[in-house]
Homo-oligomer: A and B are copies of this chain.
Amino acid sequence: MRKKVVGVIGGHSCTKEVEEIAQELGKKLAKVVEILVCGGLGGTMKAVCQGFKTASGVTIGIIPSYDKNDANKYVDIVIPTGLGLARNVVVVKSADVVVALPGEAGTLSEIAYCLQFGIPVISLGLWDIKGVIKLKTVDEAIKKVKELISKSVASRDCPRRGLSHGKIRTE
């Protein structure tokens, strides 16, 4: 059966405070979703993977290079795309719902892709962009992920047509 996938995006370097939030987020996400997908590198990505693993979740790291060793040690399955920054598209598109932690331009591009694809994206604190679901605490985010994941399964039975390469939705 198709597994539910949560994506977490955020900077590859982060403060100690954000690191702790990412770990807590990962730990709690693992109780509501089986698979975590992320960019696979350090910073928030490493912290969220670490948290997700403590609760026995399976972590997938979709990395920009071809070298599996570039992935952090909490990644179970490495997808070494070699696509550079174009891998950002693959990270968010693989997820049924995305949570954005603080980051910089890379995270911004991923949020933009979520909006373009119509993938629900929750922001914890930082990002204030139209279309993003802004929440304040990890627990609020978990509750929202739970709710969105159940919807995403239903919507898979009746996929949004009209999203093709030639005609791309922008809201």
Q: A67-B159, A68-B2 are in contact. Are A94 and B79 (CB under 8 A)?
A: yes
Q: A62-B79, A77-B60, A108-B112 are in contact. Are A69 and B170 (CB under 8 A)?
A: no
Residues of B within 8 A of A41 (CB): 166
A50 smallest CB distance to B (angstroms):
13
Copy number in the complex reads 4
> Apart from A67-B159, A82-B90, A112-B112, what are 14 other A-B pairs with CB-CB below 8 Å?
A3-B77, A63-B166, A64-B166, A65-B164, A65-B165, A66-B163, A68-B159, A80-B94, A81-B84, A82-B89, A83-B86, A105-B131, A108-B115, A109-B109
Q: A86-B86, A166-B65 are in contact. Are A78 and B105 (CB under 8 A)?
A: no
